[in-house]
Structure 1
Amino acid sequence: MNENFEDQEQVLDTVRRFERMVANNEPVFFDLADFESIIDHYTSNTHYEKALQACEAAVAQYPFSTELLIDRAQVLAMKGEYVQASEQIEAVAQLDPTNPDVAVTRGIIATQKGDFAQAVDFFRAAAESAPDRDDIYFNLGLAYQSWQKFKSAAKYYKQSLRLNPDNDIAVQELLYCLEISERLEKNLEFFRRFTDDDPYSTTAWYNLGQAYYRAGNFEEATAAFEYAILIDAKFYDAHGFLASTLVSQEKYREAIAEFQLSYEEGQPTPEALCNIGECHEKLAEWDEARKNYQRAIDLDQTMDEAWFGIGIVLNAQERWFEAIHFFRKAVALYDESVEYWLALAAAEYQVGAVVSALECYDKATQVGPDNKDAWLNWSIILYEQGDFDGAIDLMRNAVEVQPGEAELHYRLCAYLLAAGRYREAYENLENALVLDFDKHRLLFEYFPELESQRALARLIDQYRK
């Protein structure tokens, strides 16, 4: 793993040198392998503009390199410039028709355009002429995954990993496909086989740990990550994953120690600091939590999780006005989080900003319509404000979005009863009782005075098993 780490450092040095030369308008000279590394680095990090810039500089220096012209076509495809990408690869096909990368690039263009059947045909043709190339099987997996054919995708990701077990992206995509097709448990043996074949491979243990972690087998995941670390104490990612596994088991104190080993000494990452902050938060160590969240923000102003974390700490200390500032910052950085909107809404309500709270709940239900708390908490404010009709309408909306959620039906029934609309209330109560009889107790939690209603008790008794 250290070797791998040194390789990465070398690539980053080359990339930095390239960027300096471009920034200073100096002539850019690199050997072919260095240009390949620079382009690969940018595409791996989805920096396609920079990748194209590197391609142009490389082609200017090596105009007859088919490898670079192919890279250029692939980068253009990733940028969505399909016409130019196709023109470029067809020009290469004229020069070198048997090059498997011509078929691969045609496949990449087809995948990007959403022509998945065609993409698969191109990649299969490429695999026939170059059966030992893991990247071709990886692209086949990607095409099937984009096509929502997760079983076939998993098959080709596995093939890719048999040829190159070090491809971490292939591991992540394979785990995702197995998870979404609910076949992860059945496939743990695939990951175990790598550790059997090479018990001293840090990558094999690390990948096995990730598979166990995703399957929720935290004890086995812990053991696998510990093996990886035993072989290579500076395997930072393994320390990070071991820490996350300990968090899943609520072992926060141990997790903090592991997160502190998940980066080079004296060079903490914003992610690690944020995770350490969260562990302190779970232990109700507010000052330590806030300190680590703040350090994460100092390193990366865009770390929405850290802004949110400080909000949670202040919220727990009932410092709502201050919390609002941090929740707003988190939401501004990432407005697709239901959790952020709910926290901001609750804090706004605590300080009496009812209109702002309602707006935040509205936003939360747009972002996560299947989050029942967003609907329930929003409706409670309307009910408390005496807007029974508003609360009823809102719950009707919620029930339409989540018809199988009994709690929403019970709440709708309660509001209808409070508004004196008994016939509608009983109709909804019947739906709720059919969905989940035991939750009828919620009605009396919302409104204890309902226990004395005879008609209600009779209706509930009819549904008693």
Structure 2
Amino acid sequence: MEFSQPNDDNLSLARFESMLKTNNVLFFDSEEFENIIFHYLESGKIPLAKKAIKMGLEQHPSSTNLCLFQTEMFIIDNKFDAAEQLLNQLYEIEPNNEEIYIQKANLLSKSDQHEKAVGTLLTALDMVKEEEGVAELYVLIAMEYLFLEQFENAKHYFQKCLDINYEDYSALYNIIYCYDYLGEGEEAISFLNSYLDGNPYCEIAWHQLGIQYYAIKDYDKALAAFDFAIISDDTFVGAYLEKGKVLEKKKQFKDAIENYKITLALEEPTSFALLRIGYCQEKLGNDDLAVQSFYKTVHEDPLLDKGWIAITKFYNRKKNYQKALFYINKAINIDGENVVYWKLYAQINHRLNFIEEAEQGYKRTIELGNYELSTWLARADLLIALGEYEASVLNLIQTAEFYPEIAEIEFRLAGLHFVLHESSKGHYHLKNALLLNPDFKYILEELFPKVLQKPSVQQVISKSKNSAI
């Protein structure tokens, strides 16, 4: 249904759109309507496609192709019963029309009946003679197998499509996706090398080959593959980016920067490239250039958490905690639900000895789902420092639900219960802690030195030592 006469087709489009504006009814033959509808569907202008289908069927109610477009609209609108009814009517008229089977398969797929969709497409395959049509059906069958997570079958049909049309890069990408899902990295490399034997200037295949070599840490071969991708297409931004990543792994930071800079010249600056340049500059000791790149990163994409994290950690490493806090606050103002931001916020405030702010940061971090032991323990210690002993106990009881039988938790609970004058509970947790790992006794020395001096506590510790001997 593609346009074969651009001038005539443009004229048809102009006449149709003029008709919509003036409400004058003009006549179009069915093929003109098909081309108009196809154009709107390809352009994503669904409402105009629907109008063209409606008017086309009013003028050509018996046109099978226009009816097939109508079934496609029904399926898009989730009107599955109407689509099925129309397809059944069309089947009665033209039982050997492969397009009817393709739309039936589309309907079955949308209804999550992918096995039946495959069967229907295989039936259609017997009716198609042209290679182009066969290749399109292979892709549709392969996609149904993807839905079924039958990746070997999907790979088989994508391969059959490539056998007909080696330039179908969508099929090429999907084959690699299947290999990746199946964990068949070596097989993917063999496939790509074989493909490149017949298509040595395919930048997509070289790019994918480089990614496969990168995954198995064969950086020299990855670099060579990305170089061939660039030779095949010296404007291939993805190849320069991947080459930059490889050069970073090889600690060739200046060369990596050059490749990232090429991508900035080829297209609009990307936050990824700017971020990587920043990391490379920092590795080279160029702190001013590094932080400039990080600033550009967040300017380019304020929602990119990696950019804000990079700036914050940069100042953290330089022990410039005030600036680190300034930037993490800016990040939180943009996205207050980012758990990494809150953990950094807590850590920085902790280093600045802003105890209340740090405790609130760890609390928010936990609320957002960070259940690392270090987070729970840091909050517990801050609550102790604030004199919030009961809150610290509750925090540690929650921690123990995630991390049972941990000496670090038990020693803290022991100390807290002694401070709260709950000696029996204190002794209980102290004995548990000593059984689990007596080496963590230093927790009492650091957090509860007065508790450690208690004779009853010393007695329990002494008994534990003697029993260990």
TM-score range, shorter chain: 0.5 to 0.7
Query: How much has 1:189 moved relative to structure 2?
Result: 1.0
Provide the residue aligned with 1:56 in structure 2. 50
Residue type at the aligned position of 1:146: F
Q: Which residue of 1 aligns with 2:331?
A: 327
Post-superposition Cα deviations, 1:168-193, rounded to whole Å, max 9, x if no partner, equal 55445444443343222343211211
Q: 2:269 is aligned with what amino acid?
A: P
Shifted more, 135-144 versus 216-225: the winner is: 135-144
Q: Is the 8 A contact 1:70 1:105 kept in 2?
A: yes
Match of 1:358 in 2: 362
Shift in alpha-carbon separation, 1:388–1:299, aligned structure 2, 3 A: closer
Q: Distance in 2 between matches of 1:410 and 1:170?
A: 55
Say whether residues 1:390 and 2:390 are aligned partners. no
User: Structure 2: which 5+ residue stretches go unaligned?
Assistant: 1-9, 385-390, 417-425, 447-451, 453-457
Structure 1 counterpart of 2:256: 255
Listed as ranges, the matches of 1:209-228 within 5 Å are 209-228=210-229
* Residue 186 to residue 415, structure 1, CA distance change in 2 (3 Å): farther
Mapped partners of 1:396, 1:187: distance in 2: 45
Q: Which of these two proteins has the greater Rg computed from alpha carbons?
A: 2
2:239 aligned residue: 238
Q: Which amino acid aligns with 2:259?
A: E
Q: Shift in Å at residue 257 of structure 1?
A: 1.6
Question: Structure 1: how far apart are the matches of 2:210 and 2:201?
Answer: 14
Change (3 A) 1:391 1:356: closer
Indicate the residue corresponding to 1:116 in structure 2. 114
Shift of 1:228: 1.3
Alpha-carbon distance between aligned partners in 1 of 2:280 and 2:73, rounded to the nearest angstrom: 41
Aligned residue number for residue 288 of structure 1: 289
Alignment of 1:125-204 (within 5 A): 125-130=123-128, 132=131, 133-204=134-205
Post-superposition shift, 1:215?
4.1
Measured in 1, the distance between the counterparts of 2:254 and 2:77 equals 45
Could you tell me whether the CA contact under 8 Å between 2:275 and 2:294 is conserved in 1?
yes
**1:62-101 aligned within 5 A:** 77=75, 82-83=80-81, 86=84, 93=91, 97-101=95-99
Matches within 5 A, 1:396-415: 396-399=400-403, 409=406, 411-412=408-409, 414-415=411-412
Residues of 2 paired with 1:79 and 1:309: CA distance?
45
Conserved? CA contact 2:50–2:73, under 8 Å? no
Taking a change above 3 Å as real, the CA distance of residues 303 and 456 of structure 1, as seen in their structure-2 partners, is: same
Per-residue displacement from partner, 1:62-111 (whole Å, max 9, x unpaired)? 66686676567557656756456556655665665434344344334433
Matching residue of 2:207: 206
Q: Is the 2:33–2:56 contact (alpha carbons within 8 Å) kept by the matching residues of 1?
A: no
Which residue number in structure 2 is paired with residue 9 of structure 1?
A: none
Structure 1 runs not aligned, ≥5 long: 1-13, 42-49, 401-407, 431-439
Letter in 2 for 1:118: K
The alpha-carbon deviation at position 353 of structure 1 amounts to 1.5
TM-score scaled by length of structure 2: 0.67
Aligned residue identity for 2:328: I
Q: In the alignment, is the contact (CA less than 8 A) between 2:248 and 2:280 conserved in 1?
A: yes
Instruction: Tell me the residue number matched to 1:378.
Output: 376
Q: Given the two structures, how large is their TM-score scaled by the length of structure 1?
A: 0.67
CA deviation digits over 1:392-421, x for unaligned, max 9?
323323338xxxxxxx94544554565540
User: Which has the bigger relative contact order, CA under 8 A and spacing at least 6?
Assistant: 1
2:262 is paired with a residue whose SS is: coil
